[in-house]
Amino acid sequence: MLKHPAIEKLLEPATSEKVLSLPAHLFFIERISIPPELDLSELDDFAELTIESISPFPLDQLYWGFLSAESCSSILLYAAHRERVKEVVSEPIEAYAWVVPEFAPLASTHFPETTEIIVASDSGCSLLHFAKGNGVPTHASSIACLPEEREEAIGRLRTEAPALSPEVPQILLEPTSAVLGENQQPVFHFQATLSGDASTDESRLTKLSPTGTLLWRADVRDARFKKSEQSARRVSLYSLRTLSWAAIAALLLLIGELALLGTHLWLGAQQARIAEQQPLVDTISEQQTLMFKLEQIERNDLRPIAILDALNNLRPNGIYFTKTVVEGENTVIIDGVSNNVNALNSYTDALQNSGSFELLEDPKTITRQGKTTFTLQLAYSLPQKEASAVNRGAGQPAQSDA
């Protein structure tokens, strides 16, 4: 599918997301021995003082950097005049994420034996010698050439370089791409070709990603710029991580809110169902209460009509009831009025002697204007003959009079 040039331009990564690999032939290259007494924390200052002492130009007119490695007794210094760099780079190099020479990705690459590395691009070639286990090249030189002049250019570089044994493996690296990976760390891709029979595995050179410390030393921009850029990137990375955690927290909070909303909706639906079924529950509860009362009546043999009949049969003239309540285990509470106290006393005696009623407590009486208001609390029990009949009706054998 064809794309419009303007659209392709918009889809291109920003300059700050690109890695700029500068042609190696722009640089003056020098291998410098590190004094044994130098502390590693002083290596950057040592490199700056060294380049300042050997360069014919002031530092503010140079782009420079160096390759280093742990446990290595030397560094590889390189520098280019800024005007030479501006001739091949149209944009300000401060706008790029990283700016390094073509051979810089080999920083701190260790080989199992002495190895010759050739880095060949469309604009030139670089020749580097690595001693066994040494992460800094023992020799580095470069020359400008076109692809069709590559063989001749490599021959010239070998002629000017220290002689190596014919058995030394030779690896040709052709840069293919350089992209930013995680945490703004660049990954350099190469096509590798091995000449000679050796134990070197050229496949591990197809993708190189030096550490941040090595890359900042290899970057050719001003030391003050690199220091401020490192600080800005740390802040940016911290902010990005903080934003990421905040986004995760917000997502979790949103999920929690949705779960809470779902719970509220579910509870609302359950409450609606409960409210809808409440009348039926109340009806069932009332029926159970009625059944319980009926069972209690049956269990306690409550017979309200029989009790009232017995009370009325014993009630003399001059006494009438205002209220009767039958509850509990055949307990009867009577509120009434008597014409005189003697009539009430006769009635209570008749109840006590009936064999069906027992006075649970003394009568409560109040006499006013010749009328006595009273309250009686009685216990009722069936007469013996009736109780025997009930027992027989329940399936129990009758008692013999013999």
The CATH number of the domain holding residue 340 is 3.30.1360.100
The tokens describing 110, both together, are 């260790």
Residue 198 and residue 328 in one domain: no
Containing domain of residue 355, as a range? 304-390
Residue 290 in any domain: the answer is no
Same domain for 318 and 200, yes or no, is: no
The residue among 200, 221, 242 that closes a domain is 221
In this prediction, residues 374-395 reach a mean pLDDT of: 66
Asked whether residue 232 is assigned to any structural domain, the reply reads no
In a shared domain, residues 335 and 186: no
* One-letter amino acid for residue 270 of the chain: Q
The vertex-155 CA angle with 149 and 157, nearest 5°, equals 100
Q: In sequence order, what DSSP letters do the residues of 46-114 get, joined into one string? A: HHHHHHHHH-SS-GGGEEEEEE--TT-SEEEEEEEEHHHHHHH--S-GGGSSEEEETTGGGTT---SS-
Do 310 and 214 lie in one domain? The reply is no
Q: CA 170 to CA 114: how far, in whole Å?
A: 10
> Of 201, 221, 241, which closes a domain?
221
Q: Which two tokens stand for residue 95?
A: 């706008």
pLDDT given at position 83: 94
The alpha carbon torsion through 367, 372, 373, 379 (nearest 10 deg) reads: 120
In tens, the pLDDT along 147-178 reads 999 999 999 999 999 999 888 999 999 999 99
Q: How far is the C-alpha of 334 from the C-alpha of 4, rounded, in Å?
A: 108
| Residues 328 and 217 reside in one and the same domain | no
The SS3 assignment for 338 reads: strand
- How do residues 38-71 score in pLDDT, each as one tens digit? 998 899 999 999 999 999 999 999 999 999 998 8
Q: Is residue 282 included in any domain, yes or no?
A: no
84, amino acid identity: R
pLDDT category at 402 given cuts 50, 70, 90 is very low
User: Do 217 and 322 belong together in one domain?
Assistant: no
For residue 371, being part of any structural domain is answered with yes
Is residue 68 a part of any domain in this protein?
yes
Structure token digits, residue 104:
């810089």
Reduce the DSSP state of residue 6 to 3 states and report it: helix
Are 85 and 192 in the same domain? yes
Task: Please report whether residue 285 resides in a domain.
Answer: no
Is 62:70 a contact under the CB 8 Å cutoff? no
Out of 104-108, 117-121, 185-189, 276-280, which region has the weakest mean confidence (pLDDT)? 276-280
Segment 248-270 shows an average pLDDT of 88
pLDDT band at 242 (very low <50, low <70, confident <90, very high): confident
204 and 316 together in one domain: no
The residue that leads in pLDDT, 282 or 35, is: 35
Domain end call among 221, 241, 260: 221
Per-residue model confidence as pLDDT tens digits over 1-14: 455 555 454 445 66
Whether residue 217 is found in the same domain as residue 311:
no
CA-only gyration radius of the chain, Å: 55
Q: What length does the chain have? A: 402
Is 147 within the bounds of a domain? Answer: yes
Mean pLDDT of 117-144: 94
Residue 358 lies in a domain: yes
- Res 323 pLDDT > 60: yes
209 and 334 in a common domain: no
CA 148 vs CA 118, 123, 159, 175, 233: distances in Å: 16, 11, 19, 17, 41
Tokens 């909070």: give the residue: 253
| Residue 385: pLDDT band with limits 50, 70, 90 | low
User: With bands split at pLDDT 50, 70 and 90, how would you rate the model's confidence at 235?
Assistant: confident
Sign of CA dihedral 348, 353, 355, 360: positive
User: Domain check: are 97 and 213 in the same one?
Assistant: yes
| Mean pLDDT score, 71-83 | 93
Amino acid at site 73: S
Number of domains in the chain: 2
User: At 191, phi and psi to the nearest 5?
Assistant: -100, 120
Give the mean model confidence (pLDDT) for residues 339-358: 85
